[in-house]
Amino acid sequence: MGLELTGIVVIGTQFGDEGKGKITDFLSEKADIVARFQGGNNAGHTVKVAEHTVKLHHLPSGVMHNKTVMIGAGVIIDPKVLEEELKTIESIGKKPGLFIDPRCHIIMPWHNALDIAGEESNNGSIGTTKRGIGPCYADKCLRKGIRFEDLVYERRLEEAIERIFPEKKKILEKVYGKKIDFSAESVFKEYSRLGKKFAPFLKDVSFHVCAQLEKGKEILFEGAQGTFLDNDFGTYPYVTSSHPLSGGVATGIGIPINKISRVVGIVKAYTTRVGNGPFPTELQGKQADDLREKGEEFGTTTGRARRVGWLDIPMLRTAHRLNGFTELAITKLDVLSGMKELKVAVEYDIGGKIVKNFPYSTSTVEKAKPVYKTVKGFTLSGKEKKFSELPKEAKDYLKLIEESLGVPVKFVSVGPERNETIIC
């Protein structure tokens, strides 16, 4: 694609689960490297190629092309999950080159236990995946974390566990009243084994990515979750613990922001959300159940049923402002096939005031009433391979999104398979 197109970012525009994995897999074919820049195994990307359906949690979706894949400093790693993930990939004959940044923080057993205990004490008010993500990021900020560079060196790992474990044990037992089923010795034994296994993957991802960008190599940056789960700009406190915005690439990988030239916004043709938090266009009842079943809207990581709703334009406008999309990829258009009419929220009514953008305040979002535009539905045959083959009503739906954001739609997904992607 030339020197001017070396850094490409794939960003979720909604609450996550937009189909980033499929689009990343599709774009990976022409990329030299695919790098993950934030999040942890609370994310789940499903990639379906031929007879293989693979669910990824740490590894960038480029693994299905046997590309070199990199895990940047902004990612936190559960080494037990990563081990299983690598086994799955290897079992289907994939052997990608893997780089893991030494600065990545490691999810330890106490992080999982603290996450579960915290959710229980709050009656599940946040709706976390209970994978230890929040506690691990918290320790990172408190400067009490264990990094990948510690995991791969036994003595450093042992010293870190000896320093941190007593405090975590006390919190779990005295604050939450939980009895833990692991000891400092058992943790060290298990994680030192994992450290030895993963030691060959230790690389300075920032250094290597920058070096490859200077050579004009095309690098695809993959994030997790979506714009409105960002820790600062999402519906706080119903957010993730990292920054899934395009700006998160610079800090999550360690590159200058001027190395990013394309930002692909992934828009699910409707809206979904996992966990708690405001959701202006949410549907209820049979209509919601039907859409959820047809779209197979169940979490890749947790299996939880996703909440579903109509497409939300104010949300997308704000996502564009925060990320600077150069192009859009619309996913799951096929799920809407067969519906006689569709609704699209084009603005909000908040206390009698018409608002065209997603409010900054979570409490205000909770008061937002969608102002809908009703459009004609469409039916896909399942044989569409070109944009020109889409029915007029489907094209009109895509045009509405384009014109609302002022960003061109470049890709349309009409099915789960890699080859069910239309280039516009």
Domains of the chain by residue range: 3-100+203-264, 105-146+153-198, 266-423
Distance CA 419, CA 14 (A): 24
Structure tokens at 316: 């997308």
* Given 25, 45, 105, 243, the catalytic residue: 45
pTM comes to: 0.92
Of 17, 78, 101, 334, the catalytic one is: 17
Phi-psi domain of 206 (left: phi exceeds 0; alpha: psi -120 through 50; beta: other) = alpha
Cα–Cα distance measured from residue 373 to residue 383, given in angstroms and rounded to the nearest whole number: 29
CATH classification for the domain delimited by 266-423, as one of 3.30.565.40, 1.10.150.120, 3.90.170.10, 3.40.50.1100: 3.90.170.10
Say yes or no: do domains 3-100+203-264 and 266-423 share a fold. no
DSSP output for 13-32 = -SSS-SSHHHHHHHHHTT-S
Question: What tens-digit pLDDT sequence spans the chain (424 residues)?
Answer: 333 448 999 999 999 999 998 898 899 989 999 999 999 987 766 776 666 777 888 988 778 888 899 999 999 999 999 999 999 888 888 777 899 999 999 999 999 999 999 888 876 566 677 889 999 999 999 999 999 999 999 999 999 999 999 999 999 999 999 999 999 999 999 999 999 999 999 999 999 999 999 999 999 999 989 999 999 999 999 999 999 999 999 999 999 999 999 999 999 999 999 989 999 999 999 999 999 999 999 876 667 899 999 999 999 999 999 999 999 999 999 999 999 999 999 999 999 999 999 999 999 999 999 999 999 999 999 999 999 999 999 999 999 999 999 999 999 999 988 889 999 9
Is beta strand 219-222 parallel, antiparallel or unpaired with respect to 7-12?
A: parallel
Nearest to 44 by CA among 131, 125, 154: 131
17 is catalytic: yes
Q: Are 421 and 339 in contact (CB under 8 A)?
A: no
> Cα angle vertex 20, ends 418, 355, to 5°?
130
- So what CATH class is 3-100+203-264? alpha beta
Indicate the SS3 state at residue 81: helix
**Which of 114, 57, 120, 66 has the alpha carbon at shortest distance from 90?**
66
- Which superfamily is assigned to 105-146+153-198 in CATH? Adenylosuccinate Synthetase, subunit A, domain 2 (1.10.300.10)
Does residue 57 have an active-site annotation? no
Distance CA 127, CA 102 (A): 30
pLDDT per position as a tens digit, 144-199: 999 999 999 999 999 999 999 999 999 999 999 999 999 999 999 999 999 999 99
Q: For residue 412, list its beta bridge partners.
A: 330, 422
